[in-house]
Structure 1
């Protein structure tokens, strides 16, 4: 079964919609199975160039700026984990820096996840083509099963 589930989040309520499904799975398994959920947020080590105000002109964050961003992400994950922990679900949190899809797959291997559970905004057509899909990329590059839930309101 799914003893270890990796749940990538991006800080949005839409991304968090997958947590209801994960909670259902974990509550049903909890008495019989030693199970764990890992909440992950991947942050970029880049920001736009403030001088040009061009978002395509990416520049690396200073080390102290990156540490602030990582600390904010960890605080968010810990806050998000609290309701799951209150229901007796074992939850760990982690923050990674880099390409989102690649870091999700890397983290899944690190925590030995049996499944990656994530939501998608459910875009289609030109909007999907223009914005791309992290969920699509994860499904394509991962050798770990991935459960993709369409976010309500997406």
Structure 2
């Protein structure tokens, strides 16, 4: 049915569980997956402690390393299940828009993601990225709880 699944991930437990289920589903459908992690660009004024403590150059290095580590979890799961997997890091403040843009740009026919990732103040400030994807997507969205 679906041939190319986009897997947005933030590295949270719920996102990892969604990834595992989506990769197994991709195996059953003989689909490929693209994992995406969206990293906010450096800002001088921010609520994120990793930006407050770092220089822009150090933040870029550290955030890339974190993103690659998060994406390697998806890549490893795909390898174990025999699923073709690409991964992409995007720098943007607009997470849900980046997810939708990636789905369109990469010709994905399904977006599979967790119902929630961030919690606490970060979720309060940013709102639900999953809800925004559901609201605006032209591509079918499968939400894992």
| 1:37-79 per-position Cα deviation (integer Å, ceiling 9, x unaligned) | 0111001113564xxxx729x88x7255224312320232123
How high is the TM-score relative to the length of structure 1?
0.75
Q: Which residue of 2 aligns with 1:8?
A: 8
Which residue does the alignment assign to 1:40?
36
Partner of 1:20: 20
How has the CA–CA distance of structure 1 residues 43 and 131 changed in structure 2, closer, same or farther, with 3 Å as cutoff? closer
Q: TM-score, normalised by structure 2?
A: 0.79
Separation of aligned partners in 2, 1:8 and 1:119: 8
| Structure 2 SS opposite 1:55 | coil
Residue 55 in structure 1 maps to residue 50 in structure 2: no
Q: Which residue of 2 aligns with 1:142?
A: 137
Q: Give 1:26 deviation, angstroms.
A: 1.7
Higher strand share: 1
RMSD of aligned Cα (Å): 2.7
Unaligned 5+ residue runs, structure 1? 123-127
- Structure 2, unpaired ranges of 5+: 118-122
Matches within 5 A, 1:78-89: 78-89=72-83
In the other structure, the counterpart of 2:29 is: 29
Pair member with larger Rg: 1
The structural deviation recorded for 1:21 is 2.4
- Between Structure 1 and Structure 2, the one with more helix by share is 2
Runs of 4 or more, structure 1, over 6 Å off, are: none
